Amino acid sequence: MGPTDNRFFTKLLRWASNHSVLVIVFAVLSGLIGLALIVVLVVQASQFISRSQSEATQPTVRIYPERGGPGTEITIAGNGWKPADLVFVRLDDPVSGDRTYAYTSAVVTDNGVFATSFNFPPDEQWANLATVMITAWSPASDDEVSVEFDVLPEEPTATPSLEPTATPVPTQTPSPTVTPLPTDTPTNTPTPAPTSTPTMTPTPSPTLTPSPTPQAWRGEYYDNRNLAGEAVVRDDPQIDFVWGEGAPLGGLPADNFSIRWTGQPSFAAGTYRFYAASDDGMRVWIDGELVIDEWHYASGVVYTVEKVLAQGAHALRVEYFEASESASVSFRWERVGELARWKGEYFSNPTLVGSPALLRDEESIRFDWGWWSPGSGVPADNFSARWTRTLSFEPGTYRFRALVDDGVRVYIDGILVIDEWRVGSRREVTADRSVSAGNHHLRIEYFESSGAASLQFGWEQIPNPVFVYWKGEYWPNRGLEDAPVLVRDDRVIDFDWGLDAPAVVLPRDNFSARWTRQVRFEGGSYRFHALVDDGVRLWVDNALVIDDWQVGGARELTTDLSLIDGAHDIRVEYFDLTQNAQIRIWWEKLPASSFSEWRAEYWANRYLSGNPVLVRNDRTIDFDWAAGSPVLGMPVDGFSVRWGDTLNFTSNTYRFYAFADDGLRIYVDGSLVLDEWHDSDGSLTYTVDLYLSGEHWIVVDYYENSAGARVKVWWEALATPTPTAPSLPSPTPTETPSPTLTASATPTSSPTPTLTPTSE
């Protein structure tokens, strides 16, 4: 620093000392201005960073296709969403703002993407709009994104009627009355047991026709690796198991066990390819020849061998051992040349969007790509694939299987039967479906997120199940049309699905179900109940007793029925249109009647012999059963009835009237006053005049032989009473009948009724 500089600073210090207050004020103002500038810069930088981050992670969605009509399958894919969030998809009306509940959902992957599909609903609310908004939203992160979907008009098709098909009308008189009741349900509501879930086992490759299998494999299970010592023996329908780290059955260890299976299935002449997969060792013999020898540690390896077999039965022996950790084994075969091929389409994204990056024909869907790519142009992670094929099936129930890592969907004739479209480690999922005879179109969809990738798909026909409780059949339409997509054993008919579907293979709306069962009842009167939203029909012994096949909110319906002692067939049908879905069916026996009117006893023979099958209270003796049965479960011909009642008469002469098809008798205080015990067409009316006063015990006997059945008894006081002693004159028909008395119509001896009044 030079002399000039020293002089400058000397002057500056002298000036500052003379103006100290100004210096202090200047310093404070300079500091405040600097601090303000710093705050402004920080806020602007924070807003810039926040805006940049928001723009970088803003969730987006795309749909494919962007237009379509009712029933169109729409795939919606998202990107930039919060990992692990559950995203729902709904429809919104862009004009009114109306919205629906969620049609589908998906879990966001670690990469912030999701994909899912649903069918555009046929509801008029949406089908009549030109444009709807498809909205994806996450309740957890409060993110919501909408895209437009153009609605195309639906082609005119015949609309299925909800009117019930023609069914026989119950012939008993009076007809059961269906009475709406309050929707309160009894407190002793039976709780349905959960439907048993099929055991997940390894997946066979698909075959054009089911592989021939023995009626049952004889399985010998040993508690060591050497097939030594005493075995636990059981029959196995197939060799197809994934035990994981568990034991194959009680009493055996989870590790260090072995099994031998033997069987003699029949083969048509030809060349067969045998597949054996195991973790760990496996050996296979055919007619005593060792054809697969892999008796060593292994992890999910598949071995194959081809053999030419003559027509007839062949002895097969399969041996297996498990060392440690995971345990699985499967064995199957197929006739060479019978396989069709799958059309495989591979996409370089996890949402099946755009043109496929790779196309090829595949013999089967059995892939374990691990950490590698499935083929050229397809990444090792975040890819998807679709396989399609049309196959011929024999009629029956089939179990479809998928062993998958990560997501899979299976469609049969366009109906979603397996839906596991989510990120997840290797697992097996199954679905049972009734399939009609003929060709069916299969579509398998798959996506891989990250890590290992694998998919195996197949099926097998399963025996017809034995239904211990209700046989439940479920359809993905509301008209019980075509083959059901689900058949299961339901413990009770007591379901409140709300907005959910009864099962993963069924839609949330527009489905139907039928339950059938044979139930044993004690003879008596019963009240049947149906609590339902929407439509229900109930049959007892093929008689439609509750018929409310219409759209409607939750309501209770009842009807009273008289049932004879024995087994009765019950059938319940149900459909749901939209929104809530529930149904409950139950009944209770009504208390024994005090027989305030006619005590009626019904026999399943025309001789009033043995014990009656039903005792009930009848208001009047006035029935026209025509060609039907008087009581559910009774025969339409060859039955008989006795009515008895104590009646109080004002002193007078009374004229009794009666007609019957066929025979009739009337007793007063034990005296036979009208005897027409013969076949008749019911065209004649019989009369008898009696002077009565006070209480008298009246009994009417009736029998039906064949054809039509009707009976009526009534009386009236004559205008001029005859004050004479009671008499029992011979019956005088208004027209002189000419009955034909046949041996078949008249029993060898006329039974005399027990004329002592009784009560229960």
- Structure-model confidence comparison of residues 690 and 733, the more confident one: 690
CATH architecture of 217-335: Sandwich (2.60)
What local confidence, expressed as pLDDT, does residue 703 receive?
A: 95
Rounded mean pLDDT of 584-588? 94
- Residue 727, pLDDT > 60, answer no
Whole-number mean pLDDT of the chain?
Answer: 78
222/322 Cα distance (integer angstroms): 11
Query: 744 or 304: whose pLDDT is higher?
Result: 304
**pLDDT tens digits for 274-314?**
888 888 899 999 999 999 999 998 875 778 888 889 988 99
Name the more confident of 742 and 268: 268
Integer Cα distance of 423 and 107 in angstroms: 7
Query: Looking at 29-38, 60-69, 99-108, 133-142, which range is the least confident one?
Result: 29-38
Residue 515 has pLDDT above 90, yes or no: yes
**Predicted pLDDT at 114:** 80
The CB-side HSE value for 374 (13 A sphere, CA atoms) comes to 29
Q: How many CB atoms lie within 10 A of CB 34?
A: 10
Strand segments, DSSP code E, in 554-638 are 555-563, 566-576, 581-589, 598-603, 614-618, 622-626
Quote the CA–CA distance of 148 and 401 in Å, as a whole number. Answer: 36
What's the pTM value of the predicted model, to 2 decimals? 0.37
Cβ proximity of 594 and 664 under 8 Å: no
Other CB atoms within a 10 A radius of the CB of residue 325 amount to 12
| Average of per-residue pLDDT across 405-411 | 94
Q: Which residue has the higher pLDDT, 324 or 154?
A: 324
Q: Is the pLDDT of residue 18 over 50?
A: yes
DSSP state string for 488-520: EEES-SEEEEETS-SSTTS-SSSEEEEEEEEEE
Q: What whole-number percentage of the chain has pLDDT above 90?
A: 36
Cα atoms in the 13 Å half-sphere on the side-chain side of 112: 12
**Which run of H or of E encompasses 273?**
strand 270-279
- Residues with Cβ within 8 Å of residue 20, at least 6 apart in sequence: none
**What is the fold of 60-151?**
Immunoglobulin-like (2.60.40)
The reported pLDDT for the residue numbered 422 is 93
Residues 6+ apart with CB under 8 A from 442: 206, 387, 388, 389, 390, 391, 410, 411, 412
pLDDT value of residue 369 = 92
pLDDT tens-digit map of 130-179 = 899 999 988 778 889 999 999 987 654 433 333 333 333 333 333 333 33
Phi/psi at 533 (5° precision): -150, 100
Q: Structure tokens of 730?
A: 């011979």
Q: In this model, does residue 674 exceed pLDDT 80?
A: yes
Nearest to 222 by CA among 255, 262, 245: 255
Percentage above 70 pLDDT, the chain: 77
Beta bridge partners of 489: 471
466-589: CATH architecture: Sandwich (2.60)
Q: Check pLDDT > 80 for residue 496.
A: yes
Residue 574 DSSP code: E
The answer to whether the CB of 701 falls within 8 A of the CB of 673 is no
Would the pLDDT of 635 be above 70?
yes
| Contact predicate 257/225, CB 8 Å | yes
What's the pLDDT band for 119 if we cut at 50, 70, 90? confident
**Which superfamily, per CATH, for 342-462?**
Galactose-binding domain-like (2.60.120.260)
Q: What is the mean pLDDT of residues 389-411?
A: 90
> Range with the lowest mean pLDDT among 180-184, 497-501, 575-579?
180-184
d(C-alpha 424, C-alpha 384), whole Å: 15
* Average confidence (pLDDT) over 118-131: 81
Say yes or no to pLDDT of 678 above 60: yes
List, for residues 504-514, the tens digit of each pLDDT value: 778 889 999 99
What span, in angstroms and rounded, lies between the C-alpha atoms of 370 and 451?
A: 8
Contacts of 455 by beta carbon, 8 Å cutoff, 6+ apart: 365, 367, 385, 402, 403, 404, 405, 408, 444, 446
The burial class, CB within 10 Å (0-12 / 13-18 / 19+), for 136 is: buried
Location of each CATH 2.60.120.260 domain in the chain: 217-335, 342-462, 466-589, 598-717
Query: CA-CA distance, 246 to 327, in Å (whole number)?
Result: 8
Pairwise pLDDT comparison (5 vs 278), residue with the higher score? 278
How many angstroms separate the CA atoms of 596 and 576, rounded?
43
Q: Would you state the pLDDT for residue 9?
A: 47
Better pLDDT: 287 or 208: 287
Give the residue, 77 or 727, on which the prediction is more confident: 77
Residue 215 — φ and ψ, nearest 5°?
A: -55, -35
Cβ pair 347, 383 in contact under 8 A: yes
Higher pLDDT, residue 608 or 162: 608
Q: How far apart are CA 456 and CA 421, in angstroms?
A: 15
pLDDT for 44 equals 52
Structure tokens at 511: 């489905």
Q: What are the Cα distances from residue 680, in Å, to 626, 637, 666? A: 13, 14, 16
Q: How does residue 377 score in pLDDT terms, banded at 50, 70 and 90?
A: confident
**Given pLDDT bands bounded at 50, 70 and 90, which one contains residue 219?**
very high
Provide the pLDDT for residue 191: 35
Cis peptide before 237 (omega within 30 of 0): no
pLDDT band at 390, cuts 50/70/90?
Answer: confident
Among residues 343, 322, 329, the alpha carbon closest in space to that of 385 is found at 343
Structure tokens at 456: 């195996």
Phi and psi at 24, nearest 5°, equal -65, -45
Write out the residue limits of the CATH 2.60.40.1930 domain(s) in the chain.
Answer: 60-151
Residue 353: φ, ψ to 5°: -100, 140
Q: What is the pLDDT of residue 180?
A: 35
For 598-717, CATH number out of 2.60.120.260, 3.40.50.1820, 1.20.120.1200, 1.10.1200.10 equals 2.60.120.260
Name the burial class of residue 67, with classes exposed (0-12), middle (13-18) and buried (19+) by CB atoms within 10 angstroms of its CB. Answer: middle
Assign 593 a pLDDT band (cuts: 50, 70, 90): low
Q: Is the pLDDT of residue 39 over 90?
A: no
Q: How far apart are CA 412 and CA 485, in angstroms?
A: 10
> Per-residue pLDDT tens for 409-429?
999 988 888 999 999 999 999
The confidence score (pLDDT) of residue 536 equals: 96
**Which pLDDT band, with edges at 50, 70 and 90, does 375 fall under?**
confident
pLDDT of residue 94: 87
Number of H helices, E strands in the chain: 3, 49
Residue 337 has pLDDT above 80, yes or no: no
From CA 346, how far away is CA 386, in angstroms rounded?
Answer: 7
Question: Distance of CA 316 to CAs 108, 216, 247, 332, 655, Å?
Answer: 48, 12, 25, 11, 87
Is the per-residue pLDDT at 49 higher than 50? no
Q: Is the pLDDT higher at 28 or at 422?
A: 422
Task: Tell me the torsion sign for CA atoms 481, 485, 490, 494.
Answer: negative
> Distances in Å between the alpha carbon of 722 and those of 654, 698, 730?
9, 20, 17
Has residue 96 got a pLDDT over 70?
Answer: yes
Give the whole-angstrom CA distance, residue 600 versus residue 755: 13
- With cut-offs at 50, 70 and 90, classify the pLDDT of residue 33: low
3-class secondary structure, 215: coil
Q: Identify whether the C-beta of residue 664 lies closer than 8 Å to the C-beta of residue 710.
A: no
